[in-house]
Amino acid sequence: MSAFVSVLLVFLLVIVAALVIAAIWGVGIYNSLVALRNACKNAFAQVDVQLKRRHDLIPNLVETAKGYMAHESGTLTAVIEARAKATQANVRFAGNPNDPAAMRDLSQAEAGLSGALGRLMVVAEQYPQLKADATMRSLMEELTSTENRIAFSRQAFNDAVLFYNNGREVFPQIFIANAFGFQAGEFFKIEDPAEKAAPKVSF
């Protein structure tokens, strides 16, 4: 009896000790997942700054262009609408940064804005006076600069998302991730309209 009890006690102790260690380990994994997800959030803050800068530039740009291209109101309205959509999507995503659908919306809205701006530029080509306008030139310059910075901060954000996704998908992290609702992060893609418009090569 005594030997049995002591063996049982010891056996249980060992099992529970293993459980405790596993629990501490699990907490560690959980915390590291939280840290990775926060890294994505922090990286997005940089993207956000640049997106906002782009959104702030557009009203001035449209206002300046209006004076020269009164007949192209459709193109200008498209830009303004696309901007409004992008701003909304941005607010939605900021309120719910872990939602992949919100990120997809934001990607689409920003791509739409890029497309509308691209069309505006094409049309603007036909107005030499507009192209020569000093305000327009400086706005264009700032817009290009902002787009470069968006691309750069987007790269950092996507790297963070990749890191998080990789960290989330490996064994045994994936169990903890699924159990506690760590969704896979969504990349911030802005499809280049120019790339999309490139003619297909046919043979």
Q: Which is nearer to other proteins, 16 or 80 (CB)?
A: 16
Q: How far is the CB of 38 from other proteins (least distance, A)?
A: 5
Neighbours of 14 (CB within 10 A): 10
**The only residue of 148, 166, 178, 183 in contact with other proteins, by rule CB under 8 A:** 148
Angle, CA of 77, 80 and 86, to the nearest 5°: 140
Site for other proteins in 27-56 (CB under 8 A): 28, 31-32, 34-35, 38-39, 42-43, 45-46, 49
> Which of 155, 166, 178, 183 lies at the binding interface for other proteins (CB under 8 A)?
155
79, 111, 117, 160: residue in contact with other proteins (rule CB under 8 A)? 160
Residue 23: CB minimum distance to other proteins, A: 8
Residue 166 lies near other proteins (rule: CB under 8 A): no
Give the nearest distance from C-beta 99 to other proteins in angstroms.
19
Q: Is residue 170 a contact residue for other proteins (CB under 8 A)?
A: no
Query: Which residues in this chain contact other proteins in the complex, by CB under 8 A?
Result: 1-2, 5-6, 8-10, 12-14, 16-17, 19-21, 23-25, 28, 31-32, 34-35, 38-39, 42-43, 45-46, 49, 145, 148-149, 151-153, 155-156, 159-160
